[in-house]
Amino acid sequence: MNRRQQSTRQPPRSPHYPTDTPAHDSFGRRIDYLRVSLTDRCNMRCVYCMPEQGAQFMPRPELLTSAELITVMRAAAAAGFRKIRMTGGEPMLRRDIVELIRAIKAIPGIDHIAMTTNGLRLHKQAPILKAAGLDRVNISIDSLNPDKFRQMTRGARLEEVWAGIEAAHDAGLVPLKLNAVIVRGLNDDEVLDLAALTLDNAWEFRFIEVMPLTGVAGVAQDGVVSTAELIDRLEAVYGPLEALDQPGSDPARPYRIRGAAGTIGFISSVTDPFCSTCNRMRLTADGRLHLCLLRDNEIDLRTALRHGATQEELEQIIRHAVHVKPWGHGLPEGVLPTLRGMSALGG
């Protein structure tokens, strides 16, 4: 039995989970945010996300079809999921991305659709995506230096991503959030410049700690720059950061440089995790509910779907998955995820 089979748990036929209330896990957390990976493929090869060589992608027949995905989204909405985020790999590689957004936005109960993208295709499609129902985007930009950006992404062009950022802003995909994974020795010397983007722009720039996922564990082992260190660096130049109120389920702890138009957020999954307020789960492109980003626990929806499960039966599987969601990751105990890399999980 391979690792994927070992980590995939099928729900029992009982108990029957009530359908008249939104799904909560066994710790009482309200789980209403589903991150949906549309593909594990990407048109970048970022050093903290994918190995330089040997990346394995899922065969296309294993991926959920558009019709299957919409069926799962209806069941998820019935279970109480309200916010959907399209992820990848790179979600804009999915040719039917516009049609998917339009169809999901029409599902009763879905209040908000966002997308995390590398921005390479956004400059042409931002207005179309907005018209289809996309509410906002997060765009990855790990460096403002074209040469370093090319190094970190293994070949991408910074100017194309910047054009996507401008297009998203102009299309009204706001509040606009920009993400940077900070890796010691690669881009940690740009923290001040990246934060400075918020001085004149009403954007949120989010600094993310590199995580030890499959294929990049070596980068993560020596590359983590803690949020505490980043704040010290910023305050040494900009003065004390203004701490802002944090929405209960948002993983980013928000601050503002005094007088800035935008804000700064810190996502500290490794050094200061936010498990107590977690409200999310992930749907992989091949139809597994991944219960915690940094654990291997998964529950298979695709098999049930392809064996004729009704929407009500899928809802029960989803409610079971929510119920057995673990409290948090096991990094302090040395438990590392081994099943999937970041490109297969969507962050």
How many CA within 13 A on the CB side of residue 40? 22
Structural domains of the chain in order of their starting residue, each with its CATH number: 3-344 (3.20.20.70)
The residues pairing with 254 across neighbouring beta strands, listed in sequence order, are: 265
**What pLDDT is attached to residue 274?**
80
- Indicate if the pLDDT at residue 272 is higher than 90: no
Q: What is the token pair recorded at 88? A: 């990848």
90-107 pLDDT per residue, tens: 999 999 999 999 999 999
**What share of the chain in percent tops pLDDT 70?**
88
337 confidence band (pLDDT: 50, 70, 90): low
Instruction: Report whether pLDDT(3) > 50.
Output: no
pLDDT band at residue 341 under the 50/70/90 scheme: low
Amino acid letter at 62? E
The mean predicted confidence, pLDDT, of the chain is: 89
More confident residue, 223 or 259: 259
The residues, any chain, with a CB within 8 Å of residue 53's CB and separated by 6 or more, are none
Residue 218, Cβ neighbours under 10 Å: how many? 11
The whole-number pLDDT of residue 65 equals: 97
Distance between CA atoms of 138 and 122, rounded to whole angstroms? Answer: 11
pLDDT over 50 (residue 11): no
The distance from CA 91 to its chain's CA centroid, rounded to whole angstroms, is 11
Burial code of 306-336, b = ≥16 C-beta within 10 A, e = fewer?
eeebeeeebbbbbbbbbbebbebbebeeeeb
pLDDT score, position 295: 82
pLDDT in the model for residue 4? 43
| Mean pLDDT for the stretch of residues 234-261 | 92
Token pair for residue 115? Answer: 């997308």
- Over residues 59-75, mean pLDDT: 96
Q: Are 318 and 289 in contact (CB under 8 A)?
A: yes
Q: What pLDDT does 61 receive?
A: 92
Look at 56 and 162; give whichever has higher pLDDT: 162
pTM score: 0.89
Q: What integer pLDDT is reported at residue 273 of this predicted model?
A: 78
The total of other beta-carbon atoms located within 10 Å of residue 170's CB is 12
More confident residue, 50 or 108: 108
Q: Give the model's pLDDT for residue 14.
A: 47
Regarding predicted confidence, which is higher, 291 or 221? Answer: 291
What span, in angstroms and rounded, lies between the C-alpha atoms of 79 and 86?
Answer: 19
pLDDT given at position 57: 87
Task: Specify which residues 242 forms β-bridges with.
Answer: 256
Of the pLDDT bands very low, low, confident and very high (cuts 50, 70, 90), residue 7 is: very low
pLDDT score of 1: 41
Share of the chain above pLDDT 90, in %: 71
pLDDT tens-digit profile of 22-47?
999 999 999 999 999 999 999 998 88
